[in-house]
């Protein structure tokens, strides 16, 4: 008998195929009537989560037999961990397998924001090289200071890449780490000391709008913001205004507050590089994330400890 499993969203195709071959899958996202769906599946013990759908105590209570929530992704900010813990529900995520890809995206955003590669390519494609001459000069990455807000596993992978480009590294974490990089005691000091502020914190209430006007003022008109973490960490309307008024030099953003809806005013900015949350989006990495998500479920239903438990 295959165990029953509820899926919150349409996942990566390979992962969906594996899940469907090993579990009897019930698609919450395709259910015309949620209330009826939960009534019909109230004995389900496993939930596979994808994306930003909020998994809170209310949803957990609709599934009183729930034992495990296996998330596709390292970030578990959409899941209420305290609610899961209170109900004895295991939560797993997919760390490490995506570090390199996300760090590649972060470095690409640094280079694109400072060097304006997307804008200069658009300039060439529009025929302006011939018509108006060379593209205006931009800003070097080498010699600049990268301030990493959230020096975890992904942050360290970003630091190594940025150091290879000749950047100096500083960081702020809740707790100082045993690393060679200089530590700043708070986000404002880090922003003051950095040319590029890199946001790598988890999402969720603790980091909500941590990047606010004070942090952006400290970054200043020569400073750049890169966010590959969660849109919730940044006060987005304030960031938009600071970019429009050139109160910071530019931004590279892979994440937004209400994805995939982005305030259209961002599209008009020449000093921002915008990506559609592609940090981990390669065939190889998404397969590795899905394999880990499935393996956690497989192990749980075989009575073995899961591999990557969050709570
Ligand atoms: C994915 C991510 O885009 O792992 C995360 O936390 O943000 C990304 O790798 C996301 O998990 C896809 O649902």
Q: Which of 73, 232, 260 to mutate to test the pocket of ligand 1 (most atoms within 8 A of CB)?
A: 73
User: Whose Cα sits closest to atom 4 in ligand 1?
Assistant: 73
Q: Is 73 in the pocket of ligand 1 (CB under 6 A)?
A: yes
Closest ligand 1 atom to Cα of 50: 13
Q: Which of 277, 280, 286 to mutate to test the pocket of ligand 1 (most atoms within 8 A of CB)?
A: 280
Does ligand 1 have an atom closer than 6 angstroms to the CB of 50? Answer: yes
Ligand 1 atom closest to the CA of 51, numbered from 1: 13
pLDDT at 51 over 90: no
Active-site positions read 230, 259, 277
Across-strand partners of 4?
24
Q: What number is the average pLDDT over the span 216-234?
A: 98
Confidence tier at 155 by pLDDT (50, 70, 90): very high
Q: Is 52 in the pocket of ligand 1 (CB under 6 A)?
A: no
The response to whether residue 220 sits with its C-beta less than 6 Å from ligand 1 reads: no
In order of 195, 223, 242, 290, the CA distances from 192 in angstroms are 8, 9, 16, 39
Say which DSSP state 261 is in.
B
Tell whether ligand 1 has an atom less than 6 A from the beta carbon of residue 251: no
Reported as a single tens digit per residue, the pLDDT across 71-128 is 999 999 999 999 999 999 999 999 999 999 999 999 999 999 999 999 999 999 999 9
Q: Distance between CA atoms of 82 and 92, rounded to whole angstroms? A: 14
Q: Considering only CA atoms, which residue is closest to atom 11 of ligand 1?
A: 73
CA atoms within 13 A on the CB side of 37: 15
Using alpha carbons, select from 305, 281, 297 the residue that is nearest to residue 19: 297
Instruction: Give tens-digit pLDDT for 18-45.
Output: 999 999 999 999 999 999 999 999 999 9
- Indicate the helix (H) or strand (E) that contains 196: strand 196-199
CA dist., res. 273 & res. 118, Å (int): 7
Residue nearest to atom 2 of ligand 1 (CA): 73
């Amino acid at each position: 008998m295959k165990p029953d499993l509820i899926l919150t969203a349409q996942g990566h195709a390979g992962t969906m195929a594996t899940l469907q071959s090993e579990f009897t899958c019930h698609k919450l996202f395709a259910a015309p009537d949620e209330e009826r769906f939960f009534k019909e599946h109230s004995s389900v013990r496993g939930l596979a989560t994808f994306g930003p759908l909020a998994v809170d105590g209310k949803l957990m209570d609709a599934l009183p037999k729930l034992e495990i929530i296996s998330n596709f992704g390292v970030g578990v900010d959409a899941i209420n961990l305290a609610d899961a813990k209170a109900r004895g529900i295991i939560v797993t995520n997919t760390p490490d397998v995506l570090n390199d890809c996300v760090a590649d995206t972060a470095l690409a955003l640094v280079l694109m924001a400072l060097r304006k590669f997307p804008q200069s390519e658009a300039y060439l494609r529009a025929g302006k090289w011939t018509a108006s001459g060379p593209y205006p000069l931009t800003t070097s990455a080498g010699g600049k200071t990268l301030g990493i807000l959230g020096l975890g596993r992904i942050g360290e992978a970003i630091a190594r890449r940025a150091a290879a480009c000749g950047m100096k590294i500083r960081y702020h974490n809740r707790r100082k780490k045993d690393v060679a990089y200089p530590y700043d005691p708070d986000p404002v000091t880090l922003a003051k000391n950095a040319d590029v502020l890199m946001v790598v914190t988890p999402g969720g209430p603790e980091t909500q709008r941590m990047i606010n006007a004070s942090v952006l003022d400290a970054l200043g008109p020569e400073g750049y913001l890169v966010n590959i973490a969660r849109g919730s960490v940044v006060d987005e309307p304030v960031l938009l205004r600071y970019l429009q008024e050139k109160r910071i030099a530019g931004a590279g953003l892979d994440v937004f507050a209400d994805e995939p809806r982005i305030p259209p005013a961002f599209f008009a900015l020449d000093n921002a590089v915008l990506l559609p949350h592609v940090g981990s989006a390669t065939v190889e990495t998404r397969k590795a994330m899905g394999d880990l998500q499935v393996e956690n479920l497989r192990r749980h239903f075989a009575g073995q400890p899961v591999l990557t438990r969050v709570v």
